[in-house]
Amino acid sequence: MKLRRQNKTQAFTLVECLVVMLILMITFSGIMGFRYFSVLSAERAETQLLAARAAVAISEAWRARKGADDFDPTQQSFDDHFQILPVSLAVLKATSPSGALHLGNYQVEIEGRQFQANLMYQNSTDVPNARLLHVVLMWQDSKQMRQQFHLSTLTQTQT
């Protein structure tokens, strides 16, 4: 009589399972790292966009006042997500262009983000009856590094 040997079903060994798990862990950690840096980059871009929005809103309000040297952005009406408060001069230390006159330092809050604004203006030497406003917005990013956005705008003054 012939004995038949039964075929055993083959299974994965423990080493093979561990290798697959290691490959999956490396893949998932790479994906999670990519997602972290994507979210961080999006956060930085949104903060810079909000700083630009604040600088444009302040400069447009100044232009509407025809470059007034007594301009106070706290007296302007902005939307509910945009608040401006005055701060003391000692808080901000921004470099001013030569010949620029200081308009004030302000705390700006947009959609929960805090910015410090420094406003300076100077009379234009090239264009008669014109003034140049410099809006410098500063903030700290998620790595506690100081960031800055600078916008300059020219407007015709009252004669």
Q: Is residue 7 in a domain?
A: no
Q: Which two tokens stand for residue 20?
A: 């697959």
Residue 100 lies in a domain: yes
Reported as half-sphere exposure (CB side, CA atoms, 13 A), residue 156 has a value of 2
Q: Tell me: the pLDDT tens digits for 120-130?
A: 999 888 888 88
> For residue 66, is it within any domain?
yes
Predicted TM-score (pTM) of the model is 0.73
Domain count, the chain: 1
For the stretch 32-49, pLDDT in tens is 988 988 988 898 899 999
Q: Return the pLDDT at 9.
A: 67
Distance CA 138, CA 58 (A): 14
Residue 134 belongs to domain spanning: 14-156
What is the percentage of the chain residues whose pLDDT exceeds 90? 40
Q: Would you say the C-alpha torsion 30, 31, 35, 41 has a positive or negative sign?
A: positive
Please report whether residue 118 resides in a domain: yes
Identify whether 130 is part of a domain: yes
Does 93 map to a domain? Answer: yes
In a domain, 8, yes or no: no
Residue 147 near residue 155 (C-beta atoms within 8 A): no
Residue 60 lies in a domain: yes
